[in-house]
Structure 1
């Protein structure tokens, strides 16, 4: 497996991967209209062109991806996705570690996940992310915001 920077031509495959990866989150929260599932191809292309999007490639297939967008001294992390058949193999952790290396100028890395997403929360905490706040979105969703500061 190889981790490298995504290019615009990868947007379609990344979007397909994103939709496959987020189906379980949509089911967990009972909401088929979560942003990762309704994002357009053009929005993914723009993310690739304007941010740091890393992809994990295995045998020519994109099996995982993550986005980073630098805002001041903070890197906003988003859309960490791993193909359903490759989850639990360390790809998410490897991508986040690679993102941390790719954006050395970031003084902190911020991300969020839903309160029911225990696997995500375990991963982020293991990688040094700490909860900073909770944001209630509606009856079925509270976002947990986390930050990883330099060691």
Structure 2
């Protein structure tokens, strides 16, 4: 049974390991082994846990997913939604995002981005009420798709 709870600084190592495992397919998809989630340090992950909202999904003692939320004004910037590769497609990502929406009740909107080739991610976000706001070409091989969720979306 998957449970969602707030991550603690002591979870940083396991979350970083999970993040690296989850983002390998993204790196392969875009042909870029140096995407930020793969080069982030343990100290950086710990600092995010200490300063923002980081939720983890656990199944027993195993962390099987995580997501971050950082407030910027009245906007919650959603990042690093990760699910263990062997647990993807089981609804854990949706559970994490729904829990984040509840954990940050003061957010006027939730913003996130994903790569243009990451169609599975885009489908998940749209299913949860996110709508594309714009696209941003950041490299020859990568265009970011920015999405926003209004507070009443997908209820």
Trace 1:25-64 onto structure 2 (pairs within 5 A): 25-64=26-65
SS in 2 for 1:79: strand
Aligned to 1:126: 127
- Work out the CA distance in 1 between the residues paired with 2:80 and 2:103: 16
CA displacement at 1:83 relative to structure 2: 0.2
- Work out the CA distance in 2 between the residues paired with 1:150 and 1:36: 27
CA displacement at 1:139 relative to structure 2: 1.1
Which segments of 5 or more consecutive residues in structure 2 lack a partner in the other structure?
Answer: none
Give the TM-score normalised by structure 2.
Answer: 0.97
- Work out the CA distance in 2 between the residues paired with 1:75 and 1:112: 12
Aligned to 1:149: 150
Trace 1:15-34 onto structure 2 (pairs within 5 A): 15-34=16-35
SS in 2 for 1:32: coil
Which segments of 5 or more consecutive residues in structure 1 lack a partner in the other structure?
Answer: none
Q: Which runs of 4+ in 1 moved over 2 A?
A: none
State yes or no: 1:116 paired with 2:117: yes
Aligned to 1:84: 85
- Work out the CA distance in 2 between the residues paired with 1:22 and 1:150: 28
CA displacement at 1:138 relative to structure 2: 1.2
- Work out the CA distance in 1 between the residues paired with 2:48 and 2:151: 25
CA displacement at 1:150 relative to structure 2: 1.7
Alignment deviations for residues 104-135 of structure 1 (CA, whole Å, 9 cap, x no partner): 00000000000000000000000000011110
Give me the CA root mean square deviation: 0.4
CA displacement at 1:47 relative to structure 2: 0.5
